[in-house]
């Protein structure tokens, strides 16, 4: 096989630099998705900055999606919003295959000069080396998808931070038990239409029958 000419080498290095740029840009975009997902996890679990970093550093991306999607049920968000947010969060799982391939497989510039060819290997029931190629257009589509996902996750985190989470509920319950029997209940601010509210016509904040409640046969 003849030695490549200087021109051929220069052209290959140029294509290789472009392949490196595309792969690096992919990983940078993915890091934005993970950062946004970490924000959602911290929001639904009501974690402080340091707590959120510790938790996120010790669980996989897949587990983060499980935690975030499940914990949405412990907020007072509208059920329609929860369903929509959960779909967005679970959609991250469908992107993990691409991330694993880009992060762990060898790659080199495509022979036609358009994009990247990955040395992709499957070794489960049997060994396969199909390889995969992404053009610049493929990368652009994936960049757009990841940027959209990151923006959606940050919006979810923002919505959760403005809602009441399970931690807020527990705090309100604890505050309510410490208040004077005749004082307004902390639960009134959270459940204005429930048994905790005097206006409900059932029980007042101090636990006594409300005057609007009809007397029972035992009274």
Instruction: Tell me the average pLDDT across 24-40.
Output: 97
- The whole-angstrom separation of Cα 206 and Cα 186 is 12
CA distances from 153 to 165, 173, 185 (A): 17, 30, 35
Q: How confident is the model at residue 197 (pLDDT cuts 50, 70, 90)?
A: very low
- The whole-angstrom separation of Cα 84 and Cα 87 is 5
pLDDT at 122 (0 to 100): 76
Q: Are 198 and 210 in contact (CB under 8 A)?
A: yes
Residue of 200 and 125 predicted with greater confidence? 125
Q: Is the pLDDT of residue 106 over 90?
A: yes
Q: Is the pLDDT of residue 22 over 60?
A: yes
Residues 117-170: pLDDT tens digits? 999 887 777 767 677 899 999 999 999 999 999 999 999 999 998 887 656 666
Q: Is the pLDDT of residue 195 over 60?
A: no
pLDDT at 8 (0 to 100): 87
In terms of Cα–Cα distance, which of 51, 47, 39 is closest to 149?
Answer: 39
Q: Is the pLDDT of residue 79 over 70?
A: yes
Residue of 200 and 30 predicted with greater confidence? 30
* pTM for the model: 0.72
**Sequence ranges of the domains in the chain:** 6-163, 167-200
Residue of 195 and 64 predicted with greater confidence? 64
Instruction: Tell me the average pLDDT across 176-181.
Output: 63
- The whole-angstrom separation of Cα 13 and Cα 117 is 15
């Amino acid at each position: 096989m003849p030695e490549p000419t200087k021109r051929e080498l220069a052209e290959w290095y140029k294509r290789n630099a472009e392949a490196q740029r595309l792969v690096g840009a992919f990983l940078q975009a993915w890091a934005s998705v993970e950062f946004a997902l970490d924000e959602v996890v911290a929001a639904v679990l009501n974690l402080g900055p340091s707590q959120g970093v510790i938790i996120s550093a010790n669980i996989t991306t897949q587990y983060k999606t499980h935690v975030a999607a499940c914990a949405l049920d412990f907020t007072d968000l509208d059920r329609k919003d929860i369903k929509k947010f959960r779909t967005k969060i679970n959609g991250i799982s469908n992107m993990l295959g691409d991330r694993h391939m880009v992060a762990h497989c060898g790659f080199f510039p495509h022979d036609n000069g358009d994009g990247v060819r990955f040395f992709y290997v499957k070794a489960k029931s049997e060994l396969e080396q199909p390889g995969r190629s992404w053009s610049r257009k493929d990368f652009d589509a994936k960049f757009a998808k990841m940027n959209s996902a990151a923006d959606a996750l940050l919006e979810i985190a923002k919505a959760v931070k403005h809602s009441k989470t399970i931690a807020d509920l527990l705090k309100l319950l604890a505050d309510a038990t410490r208040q004077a029997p005749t004082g307004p209940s902390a639960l009134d601010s959270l459940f204005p239409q429930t048994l905790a509210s005097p206006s409900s016509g059932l029980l007042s904040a101090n636990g006594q029958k409300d005057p609007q409640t009809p007397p029972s046969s035992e009274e």
